[in-house]
Amino acid sequence: MDNPAPEPENFRKVKHTNQLETYFYPGLFMDEHMNYTWKDINIGHVQVKVHGRHGSESATYAETGQVVWPASEMLSHYLLHHSHLVQSRSVLELGAGVGLPGLVAAKLTKEPSSVVLTDQSEVVLELLQKNTEANFTGDTESAGCRAVNFFFFEYHCLQLWKTNDKQRSSPEPMIFNHHLGEVFNTSYKEEDGPKCALLDWGVDLEEFKKTHGTFDLIIGADIIYWMEQEGMAEPLFQTVSMLLSKKADAMFLLCHHVRSAEMVQSIRDIASKFNLLCAEVGKDDLPAACSDILSNVPLQLLTFTPKDADIII
């Protein structure tokens, strides 16, 4: 049996006041040993190249954003069988991690640039960008990002650049928006594929909206974990409420593990505060492939629509 990956350096030295701080300490989203592999994941006829931790590799809290979780597969299959949800529509993935559902959505539409994949971790965002480039440029050898942190005029910037085997005298030109933490490599044609952006729920939403607009479909896979995360659920639905378009068929799709009935009810109650009506997608309405997904905890797919709108699936 493989030994689990060691905890991030200094993890035990950090004093956490509650469970949330322990689970969401930024170092938890890093795999310092970079034990990633490429894998082709097939969602029906759609194949997605994913760089992350797969198979027998032990996933710990340190790699929560670098693993393809069952909820991501279920959501991806649902999008495949309801492709009208992404056709000619703008799509936003929240807490994308390696980005499987968002990449599937981008491959199902003729306008993949209408898809924006987001995560709140800069480390995970690097991996997400690498997967995006691999699926929309076909380059898995050199696709990727390297992060260098530095201070400039009193704010902390993140500069990324594409690396390959050839030595370069200087980084390729960048466009950097320090308000949103977005980095675009100008050598990669942005219009050719989905965008990647840093998004911390409930933070700088007006700035994000000015840059990316609103979205007809917002998706999230296993982005709420414990009852103690009620403090995160509110910023989540605040973000959804702010970024969901005003179209009659606009929708937020949330696929998650049902860890407790109380948690599901809490999600419904918080969504209602933001004028969002929650409904469960019944098992009979799920693609047959979903029954083959292995999960120790039951999976559930929820839809959220404005209370004055009709659910269209």
Residue 96 lies in a domain: yes
Nearest-CA neighbor of 254 among 273, 287, 277? 277
What pLDDT score was predicted for residue 32?
47
Residue 312 has pLDDT above 60, yes or no: no
Q: Which residues form the domain of 257?
A: 19-306
310 vs 114, residue with greater confidence? 114
Residue 263 lies in a domain: yes
pLDDT digits (tens, 9 = 90+) for 272-291: 999 999 999 999 999 999 99
Lowest mean pLDDT among 17-21, 203-207, 233-237: 17-21
Torsion of CA 146, 71, 288, 240, to 10 degrees: -90
The Cα 133–Cα 145 span in angstroms is 10
Residue 42 has pLDDT above 50, yes or no: yes
Residue 48 has pLDDT above 60, yes or no: yes
What pLDDT score was predicted for residue 142?
44
The Cα 250–Cα 277 span in angstroms is 12
Residue 196 lies in a domain: yes
What pLDDT score was predicted for residue 59?
44
The Cα 124–Cα 26 span in angstroms is 10
What pLDDT score was predicted for residue 308?
77
Question: What percentage of the chain reaches a pLDDT higher than 70?
Answer: 64
Could you tell me the pLDDT band of residue 46, with boundaries at 50, 70 and 90?
A: very high
Q: Where are the beta strands (DSSP E) in the chain?
A: 37-43, 46-52, 91-94, 115-119, 146-152, 155-161, 174-177, 182-185, 195-198, 217-221, 251-257, 276-280, 299-306
- Phi/psi for 19 (5° steps) reads -65, -35
Residue 69 has pLDDT above 60, yes or no: yes
Residue 302 lies in a domain: yes
Domain count along the chain: 1
Residue 62 lies in a domain: yes
Nearest-CA neighbor of 122 among 68, 56, 176? 176
Residue 87 lies in a domain: yes
Residue 28 lies in a domain: yes
98: how many CB neighbours lie within 10 A of its CB? Answer: 30
Q: Among positive and negative, which fits the CA dihedral 195, 109, 292, 222?
A: positive
pTM over 0.85: no
The Cα 297–Cα 3 span in angstroms is 23
253: how many CB neighbours lie within 10 A of its CB? Answer: 23
69 vs 205, residue with greater confidence? 205
pLDDT digits (tens, 9 = 90+) for 223-265: 987 655 557 899 999 999 999 999 999 999 999 988 788 888 9
CATH code of residue 109? 3.40.50.150
Residue 3 lies in a domain: no
Mean pLDDT over the full length of the chain: 75
pLDDT digits (tens, 9 = 90+) for 115-137: 999 999 898 899 999 999 999 98
3-class DSSP assignment, residue 289: helix
Query: H helices within the chain, ranges in order?
Result: 19-23, 70-81, 100-108, 122-137, 205-212, 230-243, 261-273
